[in-house]
Amino acid sequence: MPALADIGQQLKEVPVSALPPSPDLSFEKKQAKALARDCRAGKADAVERVRKQLPRLSIDTARDIALADAQFVIAREHGFDTWAALKAHIEAARPLDQQADRFLEAIGESKHAVAVRILDAHPELARFNVFTADQSHFIFKPEIVKVVEIGLKKDWNFEGIKARTNVAAFHNDFTNLQAAFSDPSNPNAAVVINAGKAEQHGLELEGQVIPLDGLEISGAYSYNYTKYLSFKGPSGENLSNTTFPNIPQNKLDINVRYYLPLDESVGSLSVWGDWSYQSHNRQQAGLGDDPLANQGSYSLYSLGIDWQNVMNSPIDASFFVNNLTDTLYRVGGLNVFVTTLGFDAAVYNPPRMFGVKLRYSFGPDAKSW
């Protein structure tokens, strides 16, 4: 058997037969079958062609060549490393109308990976006709994320003051991050497309401290930095260096609860207050002039009283006030401002709300009168 270096040298010396301007895969398949047939018939020129591309084969072996080897020989004679590479090249060289047929056929046969490859090679199919445009909205690649995270949990005791902390830092690298947009051709529909690359890193902190008997203070803070590194929107707009939608950079929540020192026969009575804050965020991806796309920073305040096991009974009661200052902010909507319709739809948060909750517990562990 010849050395690998000798094989490589022989392959380099083999002349390359150029493909015609409009190559036909079926013709190349027939050529491979004919080559295999001629080898089996003992035709010297066919055997010689095979041994030039596959010098590892003896003359006797070359005469009994498999179809896969014959296809490899045809591919090598055209300058391709494999039959698969030759096939992909020929299919990619088809006219756009044939690519559209291949694309729709792959969709109809649920061959998602094939449809993705065709659309990647011919992105103009997304605008070729109404059928390919409609189906291209449902073609997107798997999202891949590489995650690095480090954290620390610890309980503390400072001169009788108990505390607990949980700190975590993370970094995410996204490839083909999936993002939802309003369909440029139909504002009532959504499309999912892939961002080329994106990154996200941040910090999360949770903590609780009991400075006095009956007093609990807990809090949580998160910092989130996001960025599309390379990303084209559904209309071709460059969205690189923009941030992810609906992810504020800073969020903070502090809760204070105090348990009144009452006799156990009365039950457990506590009063609490909560303050939460989040910074500005963009609620819709893109660079449009939609006046409702940006939500400014805001704070929310809530108060309440909880009475568990009322008078040593299986009843819990609570009174609460949510959104004490009646702050108004948007929680979502439909971006149609940039279309010819020229209006926006937005969903807002619940207004200030107060109420009473009662709960009755059943079972052997429930308190009883």
pLDDT at 270 over 90: yes
Please tell me the distance from the alpha carbon of residue 276 to that of residue 302, in angstroms, as a whole number: 9
pLDDT score recorded for residue 54: 83
- How far is the C-alpha of 177 from the C-alpha of 21, rounded, in Å? 37
pLDDT, mean over the chain: 83
Domains of the chain: 4-92 (no CATH), 96-135 (no CATH), 145-360 (2.40.170.20)
Q: Which residue is listed with tokens 């809530």?
A: 302
In the numeric block, which tokens belong to residue 170?
């993370």
| CA–CA distance, 45 with 34 (Å, rounded to integer) | 12
- pLDDT band at residue 224 using 50, 70 and 90 as cut-offs: very high
- Let me know if 60 is exposed, middle or buried by CB neighbors in 10 A (0-12, 13-18, 19+): exposed
Cα dist from 286 to 1, 94, 175, 208, 313, whole Å = 61, 34, 19, 39, 56
Q: Which residue has the higher pLDDT, 333 or 104?
A: 104
pLDDT for the residue 4: 32
pLDDT (0 to 100) of residue 118: 81
Q: Position 124: which residue type?
A: E
Q: What value does the mean pLDDT take over residues 169-190?
A: 78
Over residues 130-142, the pLDDT tens digits come to 777 777 766 777 8
Residues 35-75 have pLDDT tens digits of 888 888 888 888 888 888 888 777 677 677 888 888 999 88
CB-based burial of residue 339 (10 Å sphere; 0-12 exposed, 13-18 middle, 19+ buried)? Answer: middle
Q: Which of 163, 108, 158 is nearest to 132 (CA)?
A: 108
As to burial, measured by CB atoms within 10 angstroms (0-12 exposed, 13-18 middle, 19+ buried), residue 79 is middle
Asked whether residue 199 carries a pLDDT value surpassing 90, the answer given is yes
Q: How far is CA 80 from CA 11, 33, 83, 124, 151, in A?
A: 11, 18, 7, 26, 50
Q: What is the reported pLDDT for 13? A: 44
Q: What is the mean pLDDT of residues 227-238?
A: 81
